[in-house]
Amino acid sequence: MSTYHAPGVYSNIVSSGNKPIESVGSSTAAFIGQTSTGPVDKAMLVSSWAQYQKLFGGLAEGGYLAHSVYGYFLNGGSRAFINNIGPAKEGQTAEEVAAAIKGEDKGPGRRTGLNAFKGIDEIALVAAPGFTSGMVHQMLSDHAAECGDRMAILDGIDDLGEAQLHEFPRIGDSKDAALYWPWIQVFDESTKKMAYVPPSGHVMGVIARVDSERGVHKAAANETIRGALGLKYSLTRNEQALLNPRGVNLIRDFDDMGIRVYGARTLSGDPEWKYLNVRRLFQVAKQSITKGTEWVVFEPNNEQLWGGIARNIRAYLKTLFAQGALKGKTPEEAFYVRCDASTNPPENIDLGIVTIEIGIAPVKPAEFIQINIQQKLETEQTN
């Protein structure tokens, strides 16, 4: 309390204790691959193609990784973490490369491969450009699922060979991965020739662009791919009808309308998580609310705290509703928030846990999907 010694009017700004919830970033990318130059097995942040070139060299040195990072920034990406697992070596086997991508987790400062991205919360999209084996796809999917705050963007196979479309290879069920195909044709400045490159980097740039212009709830589909001059395979609507239900997001050439991303599905068989934008909306909402309620730690776990939490979360969800991210004519139809005695029984209070129950109805599908948020209060509670 301030002490005053002279007559007059005094004013102070006093913190209410709780803080408004802001949406976390949704489009920071992570790339893992091989380059002939630059740091090895260390996640390096770059914010432009020029910065990438200074660290890892240009298109000639980086192969698919460099082309993908270039495509990411060209299409609207702004921040990316790069982990170079080392240059390709003569005689190096696919099992050896897969092991380098998987890496090891020996604790902070000693994480390699995909594990190097674990402690970076801002990463929202992760890819290993050009690696199309089921083994690597599963690694990326498992990494995204374990982290819980990002999506794996996978490249479909380069060449169909003798396989038919109904035999198109893909990993099993995953709500944390999305697959794009076919490979795109670009002009390679390093060779002055046309080349086919994996689509993942360009697609992540498109996702970043749509996030910036429309919001994470808007599907990054029916959007042009900058820098794409052709496709390895040109597919028809009927062929897309065969692949779309299997979760293969096609890239199609619409002549005067350009080459466009024309799918926005995850690899999940669960109808709730069928659409990539819905899954990403929930990831961003969960992250934002979790981060935005960290102030409750060490606070008394009582009705006053619960009311403050609920008000903050409702205010945040109203902004999502105003942006068109949630379904319903009114906020009451779009979401609900419960943080009271019903979600916080005495036994949980004794354990220092505050539980928030949230339901939101995304634009598609329309069902409520429940999110439970728990914050551990590191303080002795009193009644």
Q: Could you read off the pLDDT of 211-257 as tens digits, one per residue?
A: 999 999 999 999 999 999 999 999 999 999 999 989 999 999 999 99
pTM of the model: 0.89
Average pLDDT over the chain reads 90
Determine which of 152-166, 188-202, 355-369 has the lowest per-residue pLDDT on average: 355-369
Q: Which domains are delineated in the chain?
A: 28-213+221-263 (3.40.50.11780), 289-376 (3.30.360.90)
C-beta separation of 21 from 50 below 8 A: no
Judged against a pLDDT cut of 70, whether residue 7 lies above it is answered with no
The fraction of the chain above a pLDDT of 70, given in percent, is: 92
From 101-105, 128-132, 160-164, 379-383, the region with the lowest mean pLDDT? 379-383
Give the residue-averaged pLDDT of 174-186. 97
Residues 320-374: pLDDT tens digits? 999 999 999 999 999 999 999 999 999 999 999 999 999 999 986 333 567 787 7
**What is the pLDDT, as a whole number, of residue 365?**
38
Tokens encoding 15: 């913190």
- At residue 368, the pLDDT reads 58
pLDDT reported for residue 378: 66
Burial of 313 (0-12, 13-18, 19+ CB in 10 A): buried
Full 3-state SS string of the chain: CCCCCCCCCCCCCCCCCCCCCCCCCCCEEEEEECCCCCCCCCCEEECCHHHHHHHHCCHHHHHHHHHHHHHHHHCCCCCEEEEECCCCCCCCCHHHHHHHHHCCECCCCCECHHHHHCCCCCEEEEECCCCCCHHHHHHHHHHHHHHCCCEEEEECCCCCCCCCHHHCCCCCCECCEEEEECCEEEEECCCCEEEEECCHHHHHHHHHHHHHHCCCCCCCCCEECCCCCEECCCCCHHHHHHHHHHCEEEEEECHHHCEEECCCECECCCHHHCEHHHHHHHHHHHHHHHHHCHHHCCCCCCHHHHHHHHHHHHHHHHHHHHCCCECCCCHHHHEEEECCCCCCCHHHHHCCEEEEEEEECECCCCCCEEEEEEEECCCCCCC
Is residue 78 over pLDDT 80?
Answer: yes
* 8 Å CB contact between 307 and 40: no
